[in-house]
Structure 1
């Protein structure tokens, strides 16, 4: 064997088990306690070993631009305005360099699969797409990056944008996004996105219902279009902060619609906490949708980073464990099973959202593994467990040594 991981703790068949994992080439060759196989050994020491973390919603093209933007209002409109101004000066080299900073942070925190949204419109053209496309190629040794093309500044109101979205899909993007709330005709944008997705057999991942009131919500319309096009299981909506403002009965109605239609939900706690509640001087709404009732109803949910160090989110380090812990804090998640569910939303559930059929720790599956400094999924989230090492396609991709205390007399 090329590598044998000894005494790993994994989640298997509904329970935690201690086992060894043998790797041959890029795949997992065997999983069993006390394997008799020979080869270089890596001791997990009873720590939790999971498949690589999954970032379902991030923006590599507009990361790390705080040095060229202002944040005075902290609103969605200001963030779009400032970013639109900054991106007119983007070059392929600039986007690549900034995107690389964030991508490497994500890799070092255990992320091995990623869907990144890339803005396309006549103002930026294919610049961001080309840079992120190159990043995906250059870092394929550590992470699988999927591109989602989308119209941040509108579609029906911005001539030339649709042609660029189609060009991105023709050049290999497998997902198309949307931002209906920045279009003069939100439902016309939704209609066009579904039609384009059908033409290219593409996944759909929308920014949706990011606002501080419950007026003008489009989530039920998206469910209706999903059913009309037969796209169940292939549509995700991110943000949906307006749902967090609904009374329980109404929340339950939409939850049922999402589950029946097969529309997934991505929760973006850092961005939504930063942008929402700006018009309140007391009883400030958090804007973060609670995932537990959605998951109980059968809705596929993920937790993701969204933006890093830009006007939409002026902080971030690429750690999905930290993001899941932030979500747990904000949404009062405390039961052990629910905390474990937060880890699922950045692993297994996120894989279902992205329809990754080769994900998980199974014999014959890809040797994409991360060792967390925790003994179980609940503690991994509750303690912000450090990823100790990662293996991508059978090859070590990052390591983090444990901190060492220098006691007096040592």
Structure 2
């Protein structure tokens, strides 16, 4: 019996070592020690970590890599970013949006990021961003699972006609219903938008993912309405609240009630550590709030919590490199998730947890699942977060689609090693 690919002597994220992973016809056909069959290609992992691919459950692909056009965000604030995006939308073409997004997808593949949920602005009548993202989704379908969210950036009721544009976007093939209730003109309109958008999702059998309470205002509590509508409409397991940054400013008594309601509704949560820590707390002097939602408390209540990248080189964030391990590292630090168990959990927050949010079929390292994986220059998930290592091989459907040489430094120091491999260090040495 022969295979398309065998990765030998791999360590898996759950701690199993000495594993061989055999792939055939796009699926994992065997996962066990010492597979001796022939294969078109054999890779010796040499004990390094093989992970399922990284997943970004919250991104804005229509704006990515647009930094500086038409100008820079001088204040660095969320609201100026939204205004700047409003200036860019009418002057950019579909071809420009597609070209930027495709460049980002190339970068994502090189980083082992093979599934992305992107929010697509549907505020404008021409829906250029929707047409562009539908084209990109078709272009990358063989190597990236790209899920599109109909996102009314300017408010589904605040922007004239945005409700109709959102429905058109869904008719065109957008996958998920989005919203931004805290950006509506009033709290009442925000609550009304949550109800209407959830009803649209229920009628169409779709998932929901709302930018919810991306604010420092502790009275921005639309997530409570989202939890209620999830229960009322039977959307349990299909609804995600993204950002939820107002929860970092809410009083603990209210949060104790709120998290219980969210758990009852089987809601899912996405924090965006890089952007939350950058954009929130802008009106504070000192002490200054961190901005990230209550990741530990939500996780401990049984909710599925993931980390998203949100932005890379766009009106809101001028950094980023499609590296979900950078995202995990920031989430770890901001959330003070410093125990070994917590740090290990942060790796799942950019792999297994967002895969569940997207509903990815056949995800994970198990026989019968899709043969999608990443060989990392690290020996375990915590070391991977610490080092942000090279993605030595990225595999999609049992075929290597990206390779990066290992990071090895050559030293010229008397009495010291000739080379330094950052993955060779172990605690206690």
Which residue pairs with 1:191 in the alignment? 195
Q: What is the aligned counterpart of 2:358 among 354, 358, 363?
A: 354
Q: Is the 8 A contact 2:5 2:399 kept in 1?
A: no
Structure 1-normalised TM-score? 0.95
Counterpart of 2:287 in structure 1 is 283
Deviations 1:229-280 (CA, angstroms, capped at 9, x unpaired): 0101101011111111234443332222211111111010111112111112
Residues 87-102 of structure 1 mapped to structure 2, 5 A cutoff: 87-102=89-104
Structure 1 residue runs of 4 or more that deviate by more than 4 Å after TM superposition? none
Gaps in structure 1 of 5+ consecutive residues: none
Q: Report deviation, 1:222.
A: 0.6
Cα displacement (A) at 1:355: 1.9
By how many angstroms is 1:171 displaced? 2.1
Q: Distance in 1 between matches of 2:269 and 2:120?
A: 19
Secondary structure of 1:353 counterpart? helix
Aligned to 2:128: 127
Residue 367 of structure 1 corresponds to which residue in structure 2? 371
Task: Find the residue that maps to 2:38 and give its secondary structure.
Answer: coil
Relative distance call for 1:134 and 1:7 in structure 2 (3 A) is same
Aligned in 2, Cα 1:11/1:318: closer, same or farther, shift over 3 Å?
A: closer
What are the within-5 Å matches in structure 2 for residues 11-410 of structure 1?
Answer: 11=13, 15-39=15-39, 40-67=41-68, 68-122=70-124, 125-184=126-185, 185-408=189-412
- CA deviations on 1:141-193 (whole Å, 9 max, x unpaired) are 32111111110001123232222212222222220100111112101111111
Report the TM-score when normalising by structure 2. 0.91
1:63 Cα deviation (Å)?
Answer: 1.3
Residue by residue, what CA displacement relative to the aligned partner does 1:11-47 show, whole Å, maximum 9, x if unpaired?
Answer: 45xx433210111121111111001211121111111
Report the Cα distance in structure 2 between the residues aligned to 1:122 and 1:333, rounded to whole angstroms.
40
After superposition, the C-alpha distances for 1:360-383 in whole angstroms (9 at most, x for unaligned) are 111111100111222122222133
Mapped contact 1:27–1:366 kept (Cα < 8 A): yes
Q: Distance in 1 between matches of 2:300 and 2:18?
A: 28
Determine if contact 1:57/1:114 at 8 Å carries over to the other structure: yes
Does the CA contact (< 8 Å) of 2:296 and 2:335 recur in 1? no
Shift of 1:387: 2.1
Which digits, 9 at most, give the CA deviation of each residue in 1:44-68, with x for residues without a partner? 1111111111110100101122222
Unaligned runs of 5+ in 2: 419-429
